[in-house]
Amino acid sequence: MRKKGITDAQSAIKGAMDIIGKKISDNADYRKTSEHITLTKVVIVSEAKDMKLSPSMRPTIVLVSLVKKITGYRILWINRGEAEKGIDW
């Protein structure tokens, strides 16, 4: 491994992920399949860390949504909660 400038397993995995990502981005069929899987199978889960959130953040403590069905206001909610350090996802 050290001959190619790879010093540990983590950098080897990162390099492999970069190669795979490049191959996917270069192939339209792979991109289409990846997008389909992302929209139909991937679920976003966000959870409040504590109850010291602003009042508008408290109503939804746990949010589970398919990427395809998540609404714009939910994305804003997640982004705002993450900025306030009150939500993990």
CA distance linking residue 58 with residue 64, whole number of Å? 15
> Is residue 4 scored above 80 in pLDDT?
no
Give the global pTM.
Answer: 0.48
Residues 22-62: tens digit of each pLDDT: 998 899 999 899 888 888 888 877 776 665 656 655 555 56
Token pair, residue 17, equals: 């992920």
SS3 6: coil
pLDDT band, very low/low/confident/very high, at 1 (cuts 50, 70, 90): very low
Q: Is the pLDDT of residue 6 over 90?
A: no
What's the distance, Cα to Cα, between the start and end of the chain in Å? 34
The H or E element containing residue 34 is: helix 28-41
Computed over its alpha carbons, how large is the radius of gyration of the chain?
18
13 or 85, which is more confident: 13
> How far apart are alpha carbons 68 and 43 in whole angstroms?
9
